[in-house]
């Protein structure tokens, strides 16, 4: 049996829960205030965008690409000053969201390095 993709491990609803929980965590954690300030007061739309992005990125249907025509992450983040501090806040929110949805250790380990690479890719500041 071939190894499962993160999408297969979480399923459609699990990916949605992860994306929504990620933004709920961002909204709640004082340590994420800098990145929370970069988002609209109502985060319903961005929750759906992240759900679409993660669905394809984790091995499911390429919904984000189908809707936007790209999977480029740097362009949408360009207007925001994103340095190591903001990257690390994003990672804290994602790690916390994975914990809250009850992701297994195998999945958390599988995602750790790729999630860091995504977060670091959108970084456009050195400090």
Which pTM does this prediction carry? 0.94
* Cβ-proximal residues to 114 (8 Å cutoff; 6+ apart), any chain: none
DSSP assignment string, the chain: -PPPPHHHHHHHHHHHHHHHHHHHHHHH-GGGHHHHTTS-S--HHHHHHHHHHHHHHTTS--HHHHHHS----HHHHTTS---HHHHHHHHHHHHHHHHHTT--HHHHHHHHHHHHHHHHHT-----
Give me the chain's average pLDDT, please: 95
More confident residue, 124 or 71: 124
Cβ atoms of 124 and 82 closer than 8 Å: yes
pLDDT tens, residue by residue, 23-59: 999 999 999 999 999 999 999 999 999 999 999 999 9
Closest CA to 70 of 59, 56, 90, 82: 56
The residues spanned by each domain of the chain are 6-121
Q: How does residue 1 score in pLDDT terms, banded at 50, 70 and 90? A: low
For the chain, the straight-line distance linking the first and the last C-alpha, in angstroms and rounded, comes to: 45
pLDDT of residue 2: 65
More confident residue, 2 or 112: 112
pLDDT tens, residue by residue, 53-72: 999 999 999 999 999 998 88
pLDDT of residue 41: 96
Task: State how far the Cα of 112 lies from the Cα of 42, in Å rounded to an integer.
Answer: 28
> Architecture of 6-121 per CATH?
Orthogonal Bundle (1.10)
- Find the mean pLDDT for residues 95-100: 98
């Amino acid at each position: 049996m071939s190894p499962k993709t993160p999408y297969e491990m979480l399923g459609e609803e699990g990916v949605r829960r992860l994306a929504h929980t990620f933004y709920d965590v961002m909204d709640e954690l004082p340590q994420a205030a800098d990145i929370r300030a970069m988002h609209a007061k109502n985060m319903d739309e961005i929750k759906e965008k992240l759900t679409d992005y993660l669905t394809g990125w984790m091995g499911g249907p390429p919904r984000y690409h189908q809707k936007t025509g790209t999977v480029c992450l740097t362009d949408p983040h360009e207007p925001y000053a994103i340095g190591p501090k903001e990257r690390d806040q994003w990672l804290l929110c994602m790690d916390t969201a994975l914990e809250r949805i009850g992701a297994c250790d195998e999945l958390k380990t599988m995602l750790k390095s790729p999630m860091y690479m995504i977060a670091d890719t959108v970084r456009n500041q050195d400090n």
